[in-house]
């Protein structure tokens, strides 16, 4: 089922599964779990919904010459171990065959995201990253030949014509605290992706996205240094400012897009986001020239400000002293840079 969504940074949601397992504090008040509880389902029993692939083709046909963004798997995590590699490869195959849709995939399972998309050669044949995955996608594509009758050879198209990383699939990780930013962002930066994004929602504390000490470019692996994931700059830590500056590199992977927002919910199922945390993230992005999207203030701030909208998402209700947070930008995909 394709859903028109209220999530302001996308146009539609499609879920190819359901259920999940909590992995960090950001999951504490998971809205998918709340939904399952309401329907009497066991949230921890993860399930597939293969008809999602037909939904992707149907939406692509409906959009026609237009373009739309699709948040894939808003109710589960694409990289949960229940979804095997073939299933995720099928999702990417269908994404490759529906290029008028931009797919946004967000995960907290950063390690599998990186391993899966890096797709290191396993046959000892010295293949480039992504070759095995594209080969698998080319095989899977055959079963969808009837969906794309305009293609003479659908496998050939997927293997040779579609770039890798796929230009219409954006990959993101959640970073609700500094602890998780420090772990998930380096992994994201090592993941081949047309657009890399970070969702700092629910934001549970101050985070510095512009400094990450755990990541070094491959040719400096193991060498201590400092990396700014927002600008792609990296400095070796040699203790001499001049030498550090002279040896800095400026073309390293970077974050293309940051979403920030406070938690929304009912009863006691929401935690407050301090506005200074959100302002700080916006300032870091603006200084680096990174696209930033302030989604919502969250329920605690909405209540404090007496807003009718319980999520604090509607700008029209915000007081004027929040003008600096009225910012909703989108990234420029790799191919358009
Ligand atoms: S990873 Fe996402 S879907 Fe899974 S429990 Fe956490 S918040 Fe919910």
**Tell me, what's the pLDDT at 184?**
94
Name the band, by pLDDT with cuts 50, 70 and 90, for residue 337. Answer: very low
**Mean pLDDT, range 161-180, rounded to an integer:** 96
Which of 5-9, 222-226, 257-261 is least confident?
222-226
Which atom, in ligand 1's list, is nearest to the CA of 22? 5
How far apart are the CA of 327 and the centre of ligand 1, in A?
26
Which residue's CA lies nearest to atom 4 of ligand 1?
20
Q: What is the mean pLDDT of the chain?
A: 92
Q: List, for residues 145-159, the tens digit of each pLDDT value.
A: 999 999 999 999 999
Say which residues have a Cβ less than 8 Å from residue 110's Cβ, sequence separation at least 6: 173, 183, 184, 187, 188
- The per-residue DSSP string of 53-119 comes to HHHHHHHHHHHTTS-EEEEE-SSS-TTSTTS-HHHHHHHHHHHHT-TTEEEEEEES-HHHHHHHHH-
The token pair that represents 158 in the structure block:
């997927």
For ligand 1, whether the C-beta of 76 sits within 6 Å is: yes
Within 10 angstroms of residue 260's Cβ, the number of other Cβ atoms is 28
- Whether the pLDDT of residue 336 is over 50: the answer is no
Q: List, for residues 270-326, the tens digit of each pLDDT value.
A: 999 999 999 999 999 999 999 999 999 999 999 999 999 999 999 999 999 999 999
pTM above 0.75, yes or no: yes
Which residue's CA lies nearest to atom 7 of ligand 1?
27
Name the band, by pLDDT with cuts 50, 70 and 90, for residue 202. Answer: very high
For ligand 1, whether the C-beta of 20 sits within 6 Å is: yes
**Tell me, what's the pLDDT at 227?**
81
């Amino acid at each position: 089922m394709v859903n028109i969504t209220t999530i302001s940074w996308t146009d539609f949601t499609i879920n190819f599964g359901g259920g999940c397992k909590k992995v960090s504090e950001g999951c504490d008040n998971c809205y998918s779990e709340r939904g399952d509880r309401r329907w009497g389902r066991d949230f921890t029993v993860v399930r597939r919904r293969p008809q999602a692939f037909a939904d992707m083709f149907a939406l692509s046909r409906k959009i026609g010459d237009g373009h739309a963004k699709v948040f894939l798997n808003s109710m589960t995590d694409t990289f949960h171990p229940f979804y095997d590699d073939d299933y995720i490869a099928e999702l990417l195959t269908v994404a490759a065959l529906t290029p008028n849709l931009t797919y946004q995939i967000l995960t907290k399972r950063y390690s599998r995201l990186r391993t899966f998309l890096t797709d290191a050669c396993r046959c000892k044949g010295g293949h480039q990253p992504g070759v095995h995955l594209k080969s698998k996608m080319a095989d899977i594509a055959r079963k969808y030949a009837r969906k794309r009758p305009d293609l003479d050879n659908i496998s050939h198209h997927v293997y040779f014509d579609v770039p890798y990383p796929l230009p219409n699939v954006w990959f993101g990780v959640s970073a609700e605290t500094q602890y998780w930013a420090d772990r998930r962002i380096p992994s994201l930066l090592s993941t081949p992706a047309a657009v890399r994004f970070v969702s700092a929602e629910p934001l549970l504390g101050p985070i510095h996205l512009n400094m990450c000490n755990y990541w070094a470019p491959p040719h400096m692996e193991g060498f201590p240094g400092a990396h700014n994931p927002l600008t792609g700059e990296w400095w070796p830590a040699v203790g001499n400012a001049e030498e550090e500056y002279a040896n800095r590199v400026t073309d390293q992977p970077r974050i293309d897009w940051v979403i920030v927002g406070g938690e929304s919910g009912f009863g006691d199922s929401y935690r407050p986001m301090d506005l200074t945390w959100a302002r700080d993230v916006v300032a870091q992005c603006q200084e680096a020239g990174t696209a930033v999207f302030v989604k919502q203030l969250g329920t605690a701030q909405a209540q404090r400000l007496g807003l009718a909208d319980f999520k604090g998402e509607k700008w029209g209700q915000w007081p004027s002293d929040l003008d600096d947070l009225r910012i909703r930008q989108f990234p420029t995909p790799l191919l358009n840079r």
